[in-house]
Structure 1
Amino acid sequence: MADVDLLITGGMVVSSQGRRPAHVAVCDGRVLTLDGAHLSAVRRIDATGLLLLPGGVDTHVHLMDPGSTDREDFPSGTRAAAVSGVTTIIEHSHGTPVRTVDDLQAKNTYLQGRSNVDFGLAAHAWPGETGAVAALRQAGAAFFKVFTCTTHGIPGHDAAALQAHLLASAEAGAVSLIHCEDESLTSAAEALLRAAGRDDPGVIPEWRSRDAEVLAAAVTALLVRRTGARAVVAHVSHPEVAGYLAAERARGARLHAETCPQYLLLREDEVHVRGAFRKFTPPARARHDADEAALWALLRDGGLTHVSSDHAPSTAEQKTSGNIWDVHFGLPGLDSTMALMLSAAARGMLAYEDVARLYSEVPARIYGLWPRKGRLSSGADADIVLVDPTARWKLQNENVFSKAGWTPYDGMEMTGRVVATYLRGDLISEHGEPADQRTGRLVAPGGTAG
């Protein structure tokens, strides 16, 4: 009888603390040891020349399911996740917001057998409904999504409503993911642009302005500190925003700053050419190389604490059906985020240790999934990504598993590729093809929160 279920030999395990040669032994879905060369195994994999990273933990994902499944659903979105090396997601859909414990339980029931990766489910904070926070947290909501401006049909919180929510979440021990754009500024800008008859793509950065994001982020950061809450500012688009968050963290705020690849790699002026294919909010802010370089530096030094995809796809047909005001916000990202991070490491913009920190370890810690998720060490779930750091390839629309069927990075040259993904020791993708076993399970906060 074999000692373990799976033994991956000869690879180099990567964590935020460094890398080491290892022989990863897996038993009953968990890592038994990194020194298992002497053990016999049911399955034995030679990973010589490969890096072994903890599975990606993407904590900002919209799969529109149930709801707008013509845009995306759990089977297709989590196929994309598996192929890309993401083994855990936290999902929330604005089309069917989770506002009550019944909503959360119904969604979990519906999703059984629909996910290829493990998943957490977030709830939506609603102005005036702070009484729901404690019960939803107790029922396993991974976080509360909060808007400071009405977006996607979800009402925005003004400063008073945000303060009330943060006080309730602090008492309940919950985390909030906060979308920061000031509603008074976005509403005033929209009124002026519409009155001028504008419907060109250039309305996007004028409507969802840099000042609107900076103002809302600064107010949010102050309130997070004063209430003692734990929170994440979502999709930080520019170094100025990160600066306000860092200042409040230095004063004691329990506050994290999430960013996404679109802010590191896409430019503000692309919207004039690409139109609705660059309609997301906050929009891209980078205007020149210095803006991008500053964001990469913030990722390296911790000013930006972690990365997510903010996967919010629409098909090409949906992006071109209607004017710029009417088409959906959002980009597909699950297919590409890990690839872009690995390629950044190959180019020296990050280290592979940074990839493990930013896209696995820190998000797992923030949302209470650590130590079971986000690491490769004894006792953790055997969520393992095998990476060939020398592989050269292109991100292309035809290789996208999301229902979107396109990527904003089409044609971009990549170095480093995921060759296999394991979820709790089971192979869920190999050589760019998903197993589509749909064995993903609900995961709820319960570990050590960051």
Structure 2
Amino acid sequence: METELVLKGGKVALPTGITEANISVGDEKILSISKTLSRGVEKEAERVVDCSGKLVLPGGIDFHTHIPDLGYSDREDWKTGTESAAAGGTTFVVELGQTDPPSTNRENFKKIRKTAERKAVVDFGINGNITHENLDSLGKLVEEGVKTFGEIYMAESIPELEMIEDGVLLEAFEKISSLDCLAGVHAEDWQIISHLTENMKREGRNDSLAHLEARPSIAEEEAIARALLFARRTGVRLHVYHLSTEAGLKLIEEAKEKGQDVSTEVTAHHLLFERGDMEEKGPYLKCNPPIRGKSDQKALWNGLKSGTIDMVTTDHYSLPRSMKKVGWENIWEAGAGMAGVETRIPLLLTHGVKNNRISIRTFLKVVSENPARRLGLWPRKGVISVGSDADLTVVDMDEEKEIRAEETFTKCEHTPYEGEKVVGMPVLTLVRGKVVMEDGEIVAEPGHGNFF
């Protein structure tokens, strides 16, 4: 097999540790990882990239993104969303299919996939979604390649998807289990939230903190407990999206200790922001579940270190400034969510690895390896290994840069990380051996990304 590209002399992040090595790439795969580079290989390669002093990582996998090209392409489309991913060192995104129309049947799913195949520059998966009316046809979505159903909303949902009540949730878990797929839940209790929200509004509360206080820790704790119970009874493999509380973390830790097949994730914004930041950033930090207090934030970092939390994701959701700034006057009117797929890796390298909150091994697991395993794609993806897909990103840990919204590829014209100084900004990203981003420029044509 011919060598097409060589990454020379980089600090390669392998499961066994970081070692200076050369990586040769050909036919979309990693052909070799070697300490020394023969003249023959170097001469044969179409291109040799000097990576001296830089860190070579497996491409990131973001298990939780929203790219609402169908229905909301003005917010984000598959081209801008995946260019943003590539610029941030992410080579695979899982899109939750919550578009207009959503991925609740075969026809809608095909529309989403066809659009993605035409525009995406990184590889991708697409989730199926649940309503009370489509439970008997989930098998058809599996035939189209669906591996995960979710985000199943246990609280308020987007307009295109209903909130799933307990009877439907239990039946959905039974169906998903029989199909040997993963069930992913947005775990917040709708009764607690709706009651507190109405109380807040009656009291005239429309400030940013009202949103946090209407969605307290117990709302997440109760919903996770219920989801774990339903999953145990049905045998379904469970994933809990955007874990945000210490109480929820303890429930998942206990379930794992008892052998239950459950995974969870934390978003970058729940790791890096806390309640006090809402006073400064207000509606730009509005998200569901909300930003929590310092004790929860500390617990989430500890959960990453212990291995209870399996992934760091973004819940990437691009909203126009107009949908955010209205929240300064009335937080209930602001949209919930924020963009993040382009900033996840440098933020975690800076605040996690460089600041010694997590090890580089933990970083590799939560950014690449564990999501690949949960998707059933490891070791094809998620690791630097001979025979794996050449999904790679090269980052510079010595150069400090500032995050600027105007320099990102997403359509979102704002970021809560504006002005944040980070190291580890990607300088080169490969997807299946093809350079898709180099020195801050997207060099791949739309359509390079493949569906998995």
Bin of the TM-score, shorter chain as denominator length: over 0.9
Task: Quote the residue 1:447 is aligned against.
Answer: none
Match of 1:29 in 2: 28
Is the Cα contact below 8 Å between 1:400 and 1:407 reproduced in 2?
no
Give the partner amino acid of 2:62: D
Aligned partners of 2:17 and 2:245: how far apart in 1? Answer: 29
Per-residue CA deviation, residues 62-90 of structure 1 (Å, 9 max, x unaligned), is 01111112221111111111111001001
**Could you say if the C-alpha distance between residues 29 and 77 of structure 1 is closer, same or farther in structure 2, counting changes exceeding 3 Å?**
same
Q: What is the rounded CA distance, in whole Å, between the counterparts of 2:14 and 2:196 in structure 1?
A: 45
CA distance in 2, matches of 1:233, 1:138: 24
Q: 2: CA distance between counterparts of 1:155 and 1:186? A: 16
Alignment of 1:127-146 (within 5 A): 127-145=132-150, 146=152
- CA separation of 1:440/1:177 partners in 2, compared to 1, >3 Å: closer, same or farther? farther
- 1:255-311 Cα deviation digits (max 9, x unpaired): 00110111111012322332211110001112x3x5433321211110111111100
Contact 2:266 2:300 in 1 (8 A): no
1:317 Cα offset (Å): 2.4
**Residues 21-78 of structure 1: CA deviation (Å, up to 9, x unaligned):** 3221111111112127222311111211111111000010001111112221111111
Give me the whole-angstrom Cα distance separating, in 2, the residues matched to 1:173 and 1:128: 20
Deviations 1:145-194 (A, max 9, x none): 11111311222222322221111111101112210001111111122222
- Aligned equivalents of 2:292, 2:184: Cα separation in 1: 21
Question: Residue in 2 aligned with 1:336?
Answer: 343
Q: Is the deviation greater in 317-326 or in 272-281?
A: 317-326
Give 1:48's aligned amino acid: S
For 1:293, which of 294, 298, 310 is the aligned residue?
298
| 8 Å contact kept, 2:97–2:112 | no
Among 354, 370, 383, the residue aligned to 2:362: 354
Deviation at 1:135, TM superposition (A): 2.0
What letter corresponds to residue 80 of structure 1 in structure 2? S
Determine the C-alpha separation between the residues in 1 that align with 2:72 and 2:331.
19
Matches within 5 A, 1:346-385: 346-385=354-393
The whole-number CA distance in structure 1 between the counterparts of 2:423 and 2:6 is 27
Flag structure 1 segments of 5+ consecutive residues without an equivalent. 445-450
**1:30-429 alignment, distance < 5 Å:** 30-35=29-34, 37-38=37-38, 39=41, 40-96=44-100, 97-145=102-150, 146-153=152-159, 154-286=161-293, 288=294, 290-321=295-326, 323-343=330-350, 344-429=352-437
Aligned Cα RMSD in Å?
Answer: 1.7
Specify the code of the residue in structure 1 equivalent to 2:135. T
SS at match of 1:333: coil
**1:43 partner letter:** R
| Normalised TM-score (structure 2) | 0.93
Cα deviations by residue, 1:310-353 (Å, 9 ceiling, x for unpaired): 00111222212463222211011112111111112122122222
Change (3 A) 1:241 1:424: same
Aligned residues: 441
Q: CA deviation at 1:369?
A: 2.0
Q: Which amino acid aligns with 2:37?
A: A
Higher deviation after alignment, 379-388 or 202-211: 202-211
Which of 298-307 and 265-274 deviates more? Answer: 265-274
Ranges in structure 2 where 5+ consecutive residues have no aligned partner: none
Contact 2:97–2:128 (CA<8 Å) still a contact in 1? no
Q: Distance in 1 between matches of 2:14 and 2:321?
A: 37
Shift of 1:215: 0.5
Length-normalised TM-score, structure 1: 0.94
